Amino acid sequence: MPIINHEIYIQAPIKVCFDLARNVDIHTETTAKTKERAIAGVTTGLMEKGDSVTWEAIHLGVKQKLTAKIIEMEKPYRFTDEMVKGTFHSFTHKHEFMVKDNGTIMKDRFVYRSPLGFFGKIADRLFLEKYMRKFIVNRAIELKKIAEYKKK
Protein backbone atom coordinates (compact mmCIF):
# COMPACT_ATOMS: atom_id res chain seq x y z
CA MET A 1 0.00 0.00 0.00
CA PRO A 2 1.83 3.16 -1.18
CA ILE A 3 2.03 6.16 1.15
CA ILE A 4 2.85 9.56 -0.28
CA ASN A 5 3.96 12.25 2.18
CA HIS A 6 4.61 15.80 1.08
CA GLU A 7 5.01 19.09 2.89
CA ILE A 8 5.38 22.63 1.65
CA TYR A 9 5.88 26.00 3.31
CA ILE A 10 3.36 28.65 2.26
CA GLN A 11 3.88 32.25 3.20
CA ALA A 12 0.22 32.87 4.03
CA PRO A 13 -2.00 32.56 7.13
CA ILE A 14 -3.16 29.10 8.17
CA LYS A 15 -6.86 29.94 7.63
CA VAL A 16 -6.18 31.05 4.04
CA CYS A 17 -4.29 27.81 3.28
CA PHE A 18 -6.91 25.62 4.98
CA ASP A 19 -9.81 27.24 3.13
CA LEU A 20 -8.04 27.11 -0.24
CA ALA A 21 -7.28 23.39 0.22
CA ARG A 22 -10.97 22.54 0.80
CA ASN A 23 -12.35 24.84 -1.89
CA VAL A 24 -13.83 22.95 -4.85
CA ASP A 25 -13.25 25.87 -7.25
CA ILE A 26 -9.58 26.13 -6.24
CA HIS A 27 -9.17 22.36 -6.55
CA THR A 28 -10.41 22.63 -10.14
CA GLU A 29 -7.93 25.46 -10.77
CA THR A 30 -4.97 23.60 -9.24
CA THR A 31 -5.69 20.41 -11.21
CA ALA A 32 -6.25 22.04 -14.61
CA LYS A 33 -3.70 19.70 -16.24
CA THR A 34 -6.04 16.75 -15.65
CA LYS A 35 -9.17 18.75 -16.56
CA GLU A 36 -10.73 17.98 -13.17
CA ARG A 37 -14.23 19.24 -12.59
CA ALA A 38 -16.84 18.65 -9.93
CA ILE A 39 -19.93 16.99 -11.39
CA ALA A 40 -21.94 15.96 -8.30
CA GLY A 41 -22.18 16.60 -4.58
CA VAL A 42 -20.54 19.88 -3.55
CA THR A 43 -19.60 21.43 -6.91
CA THR A 44 -18.50 24.89 -5.77
CA GLY A 45 -17.19 26.64 -2.65
CA LEU A 46 -15.89 25.24 0.63
CA MET A 47 -16.37 21.64 1.68
CA GLU A 48 -17.31 20.76 5.26
CA LYS A 49 -17.23 17.56 7.29
CA GLY A 50 -19.66 15.05 5.80
CA ASP A 51 -19.67 16.66 2.34
CA SER A 52 -18.85 14.65 -0.75
CA VAL A 53 -17.84 15.57 -4.29
CA THR A 54 -17.66 13.56 -7.48
CA TRP A 55 -14.77 14.54 -9.72
CA GLU A 56 -14.40 13.83 -13.39
CA ALA A 57 -10.85 14.04 -14.75
CA ILE A 58 -8.46 12.63 -17.27
CA HIS A 59 -5.70 10.60 -15.61
CA LEU A 60 -3.19 8.56 -17.58
CA GLY A 61 -5.16 9.33 -20.76
CA VAL A 62 -8.42 7.90 -19.41
CA LYS A 63 -11.54 9.86 -18.36
CA GLN A 64 -12.41 8.78 -14.82
CA LYS A 65 -14.92 9.58 -12.08
CA LEU A 66 -14.12 9.51 -8.38
CA THR A 67 -16.27 10.36 -5.37
CA ALA A 68 -14.60 11.47 -2.14
CA LYS A 69 -16.10 12.41 1.23
CA ILE A 70 -14.71 14.62 4.01
CA ILE A 71 -14.68 12.26 6.99
CA GLU A 72 -12.81 14.41 9.52
CA MET A 73 -12.23 18.13 9.99
CA GLU A 74 -10.67 20.29 12.68
CA LYS A 75 -10.59 23.89 11.44
CA PRO A 76 -8.06 25.24 10.48
CA TYR A 77 -5.63 22.42 11.33
CA ARG A 78 -6.68 19.30 9.43
CA PHE A 79 -9.20 17.52 7.31
CA THR A 80 -9.33 14.07 5.77
CA ASP A 81 -11.07 12.91 2.64
CA GLU A 82 -11.67 9.32 1.68
CA MET A 83 -12.66 7.72 -1.59
CA VAL A 84 -16.24 6.47 -1.61
CA LYS A 85 -16.31 5.31 -5.22
CA GLY A 86 -13.72 5.31 -7.98
CA THR A 87 -10.87 3.61 -9.79
CA PHE A 88 -8.69 2.95 -6.74
CA HIS A 89 -9.47 0.07 -4.41
CA SER A 90 -9.36 2.74 -1.67
CA PHE A 91 -7.61 5.94 -0.60
CA THR A 92 -7.37 8.30 2.35
CA HIS A 93 -5.93 11.79 1.94
CA LYS A 94 -5.06 13.65 5.14
CA HIS A 95 -4.36 17.39 4.90
CA GLU A 96 -2.62 19.06 7.87
CA PHE A 97 -1.75 22.72 8.48
CA MET A 98 0.64 24.16 11.06
CA VAL A 99 1.65 27.73 11.75
CA LYS A 100 5.37 28.24 11.08
CA ASP A 101 7.11 31.62 11.32
CA ASN A 102 4.93 34.03 9.30
CA GLY A 103 3.27 31.30 7.28
CA THR A 104 1.94 27.77 7.18
CA ILE A 105 3.32 24.28 6.68
CA MET A 106 0.86 22.26 4.61
CA LYS A 107 1.29 18.49 4.84
CA ASP A 108 -0.35 15.91 2.61
CA ARG A 109 -0.47 12.22 3.47
CA PHE A 110 -2.03 10.16 0.68
CA VAL A 111 -2.46 6.44 1.33
CA TYR A 112 -3.98 4.29 -1.38
CA ARG A 113 -4.55 0.75 -2.54
CA SER A 114 -4.57 0.08 -6.24
CA PRO A 115 -7.25 -2.07 -7.85
CA LEU A 116 -6.49 -5.38 -9.56
CA GLY A 117 -4.49 -6.99 -6.73
CA PHE A 118 -1.11 -8.23 -7.96
CA PHE A 119 -1.36 -6.27 -11.23
CA GLY A 120 -2.13 -3.12 -9.28
CA LYS A 121 1.03 -3.61 -7.23
CA ILE A 122 3.04 -3.91 -10.42
CA ALA A 123 1.41 -0.71 -11.76
CA ASP A 124 2.39 1.04 -8.50
CA ARG A 125 6.03 0.13 -8.97
CA LEU A 126 6.12 0.88 -12.67
CA PHE A 127 4.29 4.22 -12.81
CA LEU A 128 1.27 4.84 -10.57
CA GLU A 129 3.02 5.83 -7.33
CA LYS A 130 5.27 8.26 -9.24
CA TYR A 131 2.24 9.67 -11.07
CA MET A 132 0.29 10.18 -7.83
CA ARG A 133 3.29 11.78 -6.08
CA LYS A 134 3.67 14.24 -8.97
CA PHE A 135 -0.08 14.99 -8.84
CA ILE A 136 0.04 15.74 -5.06
CA VAL A 137 3.22 17.85 -5.33
CA ASN A 138 2.01 19.85 -8.34
CA ARG A 139 -1.32 20.60 -6.67
CA ALA A 140 0.50 21.81 -3.53
CA ILE A 141 2.74 24.09 -5.60
CA GLU A 142 -0.27 25.58 -7.39
CA LEU A 143 -2.11 26.07 -4.09
CA LYS A 144 1.00 27.81 -2.67
CA LYS A 145 1.05 30.22 -5.65
CA ILE A 146 -2.61 31.11 -5.13
CA ALA A 147 -2.27 31.52 -1.32
CA GLU A 148 0.81 33.71 -1.58
CA TYR A 149 -0.76 35.83 -4.30
CA LYS A 150 -4.00 36.24 -2.23
CA LYS A 151 -1.93 37.46 0.72
CA LYS A 152 -0.71 40.49 -1.25
Q: Which of 133, 147, 152 is nearest to 7 (CA)?
A: 133
Ramachandran sector of residue 119 (left: φ over 0; alpha: ψ -120 to 50; beta: rest): alpha
Radius of gyration of the chain (CA): 15
Write down the pLDDT at residue 66: 94
Task: Note the pLDDT tens digit of each residue in 71-128.
Answer: 999 999 999 999 999 888 889 999 999 999 999 999 999 999 888 777 877 777 888 8
Write down the pLDDT at residue 74: 98
Q: What gap in Å lies between CA 29 and CA 49, rounded to an integer?
A: 22
**pLDDT surpasses 70 at 150:** no
Mean pLDDT of the chain: 92
Residue type, 2: P
Confidence of residue 151 (pLDDT cuts 50, 70, 90): low
The single-letter DSSP state of residue 49 is T
> What is the average per-residue pLDDT within 133-146?
96
Domain 3-151 belongs in CATH node 3.30.530.20: yes
- Look at the chain and count its residues: 152
Give yes or no for a contact between 66 and 87, defined as CB atoms under 8 angstroms apart: yes
Domain layout of the chain by residue ranges: 3-151
